[in-house]
Amino acid sequence: MKHHAVPFRLRVGTQDVVIALFVTVMQVQGTLARVAAEGAPRPLTDFGNLGFALLVVSGLVVAVRRRWPVPVFVTAALASLVYYGLDFPDGPGWLGLFVALYTLAAYGDGRRSLVIAGVSTAVLAIWWLFAAADIEPRAAIGWVFFRIGASVMSVALGESVRSRRVIAADAQQRAELAERTREEEARARVDAERLRIAREVHDTVAHAIAIINVQSGVTAHVLDKRPDRAREALQAIEQTSSRALREMRTILGVLRDDNDGRVPYPGLEQIDELTAKARDAGLDVTLEATAPATPLPSAVGSAAYRILQESITNVISHVGPTRVTVALNPGVDVLEIRVTDEGRRTGSGADRPSGNGTDPSARAGRGILGMRERCQLLGGELDAKPTPGGGFEVTARLPLAPTGSRL
């Protein structure tokens, strides 16, 4: 078993403490070494060891540079101004200042920190020019321009680090947003598929149960007196239940298909079979259909079939034997579907299902809602309302080029 070594890294706070100690030691030791080699106009021990204190303060303050970049820079800058203003010996006492300047650009709040860094660099440059007034000109130019160049490089390096960090954070946010978007789209697709399956199951089962209910009532009513009629009703029950089972297997087969295969759903090609079943259930169906000039899109044909099926199912369930007119009018860009019934007939006998066929609220269930959703998905509209004669009318308009919402 192989073991991969984990690279050792200090925590951010610990890193800053180490850097602060390093800067402090370099400033103090470097200055002492230069004083020992060249001498100094003012010893570090003057004013109660103020020179040592300024070097230590400007170095140790780096330990909290990322937490408070502006105060750290201000502290280091003031310490540097006082140090050189009192003519303490030259040396690497600027190291803490440049680290603080870099931190201000890298970890500040963007534009405001850059403005502070730029203005401060200009002020320090002017101060350094005054401080170098008593130095030999050639040495003074090198002394000043080294500090100005180091300041500019510190700001540029800090801004580069800040920009990279901002770009990385922005990329991370975009990645998280893309992931959330993918998850939301996946949930939306799952919800849409569940809704589609629920509509298919409802339309298939509700239509079959309605016909079986009517035919069962007919069988019970005529079993003794008209066995031939009872036999026909039982055959209709068998055919209806068999077709419902086939359609349910089709739906479940799509769910189990690993290849996400799509099988053809019923379309207007089965309208004659649909109206024949309705007649077997006791409806007097008149079909007024005009052949479309061009083949209908499969989505439109399937939605039209399901709307017709649900409308006829509602008539069977809530009205019973009555006259129904089914009209199909394919236009240039819209397919209009109209299903109109004349309402409940009086004296229907045993063939009449229970329920109120004249009360619109009796029909306003999941069926009409499902039909309306089918229309809206294709950019169409559906209107369901009672007629003056006590019947009910469902009108649907489906664009032949679907423009509705896609889930």
Instruction: Tell me the pLDDT tens digit for each residue of 79-109.
Output: 888 887 787 777 788 888 889 888 888 887 7
Average pLDDT over residues 300-319: 87
| Strands of 284-289's sheet in order across | 284-289, 323-330, 334-341, 392-399, 381-386
Find which of 43-47, 193-197, 267-271 is predicted with most confidence, using mean pLDDT.
267-271
CB distance 393 to 338 below 8 Å: yes
CATH of the domain at 193: 3.30.565.10
Select the more confidently predicted residue: 197 or 342.
342
Select the more confidently predicted residue: 70 or 204.
70
Residues 170 and 193 grouped into a single domain: no
Residues 30 and 154 grouped into a single domain: yes
Residue 2 located in a structural domain? no
Residues 244 and 384 grouped into a single domain: yes
Residue 72 located in a structural domain? yes
Residue 74 located in a structural domain? yes
DSSP count for the chain of H helices, then E strands: 10, 5
Residues 328 and 386 grouped into a single domain: yes
pLDDT class of 382 with cuts at 50, 70, 90 = very high
Residues 43 and 156 grouped into a single domain: yes
What is the distance in angstroms between the CA of the first residue and the CA of the last residue of the chain? 49
pLDDT class of 351 with cuts at 50, 70, 90 = very low
Residues 274 and 295 grouped into a single domain: yes
Residues 170 and 187 grouped into a single domain: no
d(C-alpha 302, C-alpha 314), whole Å: 18
223 has pLDDT over 90: no
pLDDT value for 397: 94
Residues 166 and 222 grouped into a single domain: no
CB distance 104 to 113 below 8 Å: yes
Residue 404 located in a structural domain? no
CA 135 to each of CA 83, 86, 132, 140: distance values in angstroms, whole numbers, following the listed order: 17, 15, 5, 5
pLDDT value for 203: 67
CB distance 378 to 404 below 8 Å: yes
The answer to which of 179-183, 240-244, 288-292 has the lowest mean pLDDT is 240-244
Residues 199 and 172 grouped into a single domain: no
pLDDT value for 386: 92
352 has pLDDT over 50: no
pLDDT value for 133: 60
CB distance 326 to 308 below 8 Å: yes
Average pLDDT over residues 154-160: 85
Give the DSSP H or E segment for 373.
helix 366-377
Residue 406 located in a structural domain? no
Domain-terminating residue out of 178, 208, 242:
178
Domain-terminating residue out of 150, 178, 206:
178
Select the more confidently predicted residue: 220 or 340.
340
Residue 405 located in a structural domain? no
pLDDT value for 263: 47
Residue 284 located in a structural domain? yes
Residues 137 and 85 grouped into a single domain: yes
Domain encompassing residue 67: 12-178
pLDDT value for 339: 94
pLDDT value for 350: 41
383 has pLDDT over 90: yes
Question: Please, what is the average pLDDT of the chain?
Answer: 77
Find which of 45-54, 119-128, 197-206 is predicted with most confidence, using mean pLDDT.
45-54
pLDDT value for 357: 46
Select the more confidently predicted residue: 246 or 76.
76
Residues 250 and 185 grouped into a single domain: yes
Residue 35 located in a structural domain? yes
Domain-terminating residue out of 154, 178, 202:
178
Select the more confidently predicted residue: 254 or 101.
101
The angle, 0 to 180 degrees and rounded to 10, between the axes of the packed helices 227-256 and 137-222 is: 170
Residues 253 and 164 grouped into a single domain: no
Q: How many domains does the chain have?
A: 2
Neighbours of 338 (CB within 10 A): 17
Average pLDDT over residues 270-289: 87
